[in-house]
Chain A
């Protein structure tokens, strides 16, 4: 599968990673190479095969409905690049 620059730009936007214009073509080439190699998977006949949901065979473990966590704002904010009055702070979305 060959990806074009526009597709790479769109994917990069979805992934919130800025890619300068000059990197789009090389990245498209690299990704296309990987995807072409991956495409051999299409050879496998998977009719009637269920997709794997988990290698683990057991059931989902449930928690009791008790408050056992939280109340640790210092830990939560400890590594924040910017915080004020107990809030995380980020730039606004500029319309």
Chain B
């Protein structure tokens, strides 16, 4: 998905900005003590404050502020020691107060950066404009009744971090990489679980097009896209729409649109009134949010190693390729798993087992690494058994499968099934001799020049030894006894 559209009149470049709404991981809401967990029955996790009863007032949750600061630090952003909560006024049934408490002119976090890891191994820095805290709205359900809308306020008041990027993205691919990286950082920090299916992370996409090198064009905002794939499709479809309009001699109307994934198109959001006038003003029920640099420093000191730093360390200190390092750091749980396996062992070998065998098995079983039946220390033990020649690499694959099925450590499985590699040269030699004896004709052919037959002999020896013969010894003995092919 490149970011350049070849129009009828020449090339057009896509210009994309993303506004990510990330639900803060906290037990209770931003300004009320009701719970935030997903999936409760309607209007259960609702306090009188969330329901905007007469006389109710907001009181801020200190952990939500901490999570926003933590996220800002993870994005290498400026933390504003003083910020203000403003009311954003509009009417909608899932906005019970008739206003959303948000931050307008003075957000808690300022400018930062996010590094994109592209598929070809290159990196690009994307600017973050700001991050602010705001309340989430409830849910309006339109399909339970033909004429009525049903309103559930469970989500009303949950803390959101709105993270705004500069319009630095240039293709759907980059947008996807941005979202994946953002999600990864949030999960590393523990400030948001990044679950787009459940709606804890959503994106508004700003799309415009321009001639390469020209000024920015008029943008349209596509609201509430809830998967990376849909974000990429929406960008593609909207950019093409804009190019068509412009090439026909038309103008782009700055408006808000919705992405229809079934029809693969964007549609203008119909509303009876003109553009929203939100009438922002500082919320008089709250005071300015102020905290000390010392508190910010404490949070900074408690940050986990972030994906970019961890990737660099995997490359520099553990000798992994950028690609492998990138794959392993994308999810913190995977990176943690990897480091346990790699500890005191060959990191590349560990990486291969994880990205190859483990990921393969997990995908097939539909599991996440958190539920992997193979414990990291057990995988490490398996690698040790290969390294000290207890079992062969090939046998190890079988042991791994058994470990995955049963969750048992490798040592037990090897002993129980008698899989120990045979390294006794004498015993192997005896088998080699037997095989060569039984296949004189092929021996002749080999000596006559058919090199490929070595594989046949190796296979026969392995078969006779139930796969337990040490392959290197087998190879060496065969070559010794067969002599050079074509000799």
Contact = CB atoms under 8 A, between A and B. Distances in A.
Bound pair: A and B?
A: yes
Interface of A: 10, 13-14, 16, 53-54, 56, 58-73, 75-77, 82, 84-93, 95
Nearest to A93: B149
Nearest to B25: A65
Nearest to B273: A13
Contact of A14 (B44, B64, B93, B277): B277
A92 B147 contact: yes
A60 B44 contact: no
Best-buried of A14, A86, A91 by chain B (most CB within 10 Å): A14
SS of B interface (majority)? loop
B44 A69 contact: no
A73 B43 contact: yes
Contact of A71 (B26, B44, B282, B290): B44
B38 interface: no
Interface stretch (B28-36, B160-168, B240-248, B336-344): B28-36
Interface of B: 26-28, 32-35, 41-51, 59-65, 84, 91, 93, 141-142, 144-145, 147-153, 270, 273-274, 277, 279, 282, 284, 286-290
Given A76-B46, A87-B141, A88-B93, A65 B277 contact: no
B267 to A, nearest CB: 11
A53 B34 contact: no
A60 B286 contact: yes
A93 B141 CA distance: 12
Contacts of B152: 86-88
A72 B45 CA distance: 8
A69 B47 contact: yes
Contacts, number: 128
Given A60-B290, A68-B28, A69-B32, A88 B150 contact: yes
B60 A89 contact: no
A16 B43 contact: no
A84 B150 contact: yes
B34 A67 contact: yes
Nearest to B62: A62
Contact of B42 (A68, A86, A91, A93): A86
The 9 closest A-B pairs by CB, nearest first: A70-B34, A65-B63, A69-B33, A68-B33, A62-B62, A69-B47, A87-B150, A88-B151, A86-B42
Nearest to B46: A76
Given A54-B284, A68-B28, A95-B270, A88 B60 contact: no
A60 B60 contact: yes
A90 B45 CA distance: 20
A53 B84 contact: yes
Contact of A92 (B51, B148, B284): B148
Contacts of A53: 84, 282, 287-288
A13 B290 CA distance: 37
Contact of B149 (A63, A67, A69, A92): A92
Contacts of B33: 63, 66-70
Contacts of B274: 10
Contacts of A58: 287
Contacts of B286: 60
Contact of A87 (B27, B43, B51): B43
